[in-house]
Amino acid sequence: QVIKCKAAVLWEANKPFNIEEVEVAPPKEHEVRIKIMATGICRSDDHVVSGALVMPFPIILGHEAAGVVESVGQGVTSVKPGDKVIPLFVPQCGECKSCLNTKGNLCSETDLGTRAGLLPDGTTRFTCKGKAVHHFLGTSTFTEYTVVHESAVAKIDPAAPLEKVCLIGCGFSTGYGAALQTAKVEPGSTCAVFGLGGVGLSVVMGCKAAGASRIIAVDINKDKFAKAKQLGATDCINPKDFNKPIHEVLMEMTGGGVDYSFEVIGRTDTMAAALACCHCNYGVSVIVGVPPTAEKITVDPMLLFTGRSWKGSVFGGWKSKDAVPKLVADYMKKTFVLDPLITHTLPWTKINEGFDLLRTGK
């Protein structure tokens, strides 16, 4: 059965979302159709709106969500109609090189590669006004119903509050995992976190959970500082308050640089600063923010020659299908909190207002 429902369609870059009636085709073999109950707004969605992340149009964005399985295609065994689920923008096929390697989590079935905007079979399940509409990261959650591949959905605790655990679909897991999985922050260490949006605050939580003794939060928006301190930051600094480069300030504050630094903004200048502020010999710097499509980064090789490590982290390094149900279980056990990451709750028809709040740092 084709479902007709409402979705927020982006017809072109730098334009608002239009709430449209779309047709959502039934799931094909190994696919799952989900009724979306709650979705978060992530800066990566906005990167598509602004053109920093190049995707085909028209498109239905959104990739941080939770919902209920409406129907399944042939051969689907891991979920059934009625199950509570989180769509996974980093799938876990279980068969590719990354999935089979204990160190990797970036499945080759992800939409970040060659098939941008389409499901693994190279087609779309969305139609609007007779036109095919593209998927985003294999999830597309700014719609009442979406279709994902079975490798891109995780069944979660039926008691979990979907309007909270939707954040485990991207923002929380990405930041928390960058600290715990990618950097492997150690007890007693010092950390610097550049950018205090939802993902940056989740990095702060991860550093604290790992036992870091000093967590320095860096942002040009001082309104973010109170929440950062509430979640574990020991120091908060605004680069605008200094007349020297921020990496020099951090070097002085820590007597030679932090053990771990995290860039959670998606700007090449802050990526370079985050690398430079970690200890020259054993510092580890992790890129968590999505880099702009066309930009390149120039860095003095001496920064790496002396022993620093520079790493990237997508979805916090978690193997998604394995980790998401466990993270939801940890949330239910109160291992970590999600409420402080939720600033506003809007009806989804006010999606454009939500993006305005994101862009103004609120």
> pLDDT tens for residues 117-174?
999 999 999 999 999 999 999 999 999 999 999 999 999 999 999 999 999 999 999 9
By annotation, the residues acting in catalysis are 42, 44, 47, 63, 170
What is residue 291's predicted lDDT score, i.e. its pLDDT? 85
* Ordered domains of the chain (ranges, CATH): 3-171+317-360 (3.90.180.10), 183-312 (3.40.50.720)
What is residue 156's predicted lDDT score, i.e. its pLDDT? 98
Helix (H, G, I), strand (E, B) or coil at 219: coil
Residue 330 has φ and ψ, to the nearest 5°, of -65, -40
Q: How far apart are the first and last CA of the chain?
A: 40
What does each C-alpha distance from 181 to 166, 186, 316, 326 come to in angstroms? 20, 11, 7, 14
Q: Mind listing the pLDDT tens digit of every residue in the chain (362 residues)?
A: 999 999 999 999 999 999 999 999 999 999 999 999 999 999 999 999 998 888 999 999 999 999 999 999 999 999 999 999 999 999 999 999 999 999 999 998 887 766 789 999 999 999 999 999 999 999 999 999 999 999 999 999 999 999 999 999 999 999 999 999 999 999 999 999 999 999 999 999 999 999 999 999 999 999 999 999 999 999 999 999 999 999 999 999 999 999 999 999 999 999 999 999 999 999 999 999 988 777 899 999 999 999 999 999 999 999 999 999 999 999 999 999 999 999 999 998 999 999 999 999 89
What is the C-alpha to C-alpha distance for residues 146 and 2, in angstroms, rounded to an integer? 11
Q: What is the pTM of this model?
A: 0.95
Nearest residue to 61 via CA among 47, 73, 82: 47
The 84-87 sheet, strands edge to edge:
145-149, 31-39, 65-72, 84-87, 153-155
What is residue 113's predicted lDDT score, i.e. its pLDDT? 66
What is the C-alpha to C-alpha distance for residues 263 and 269, in angstroms, rounded to an integer? 10
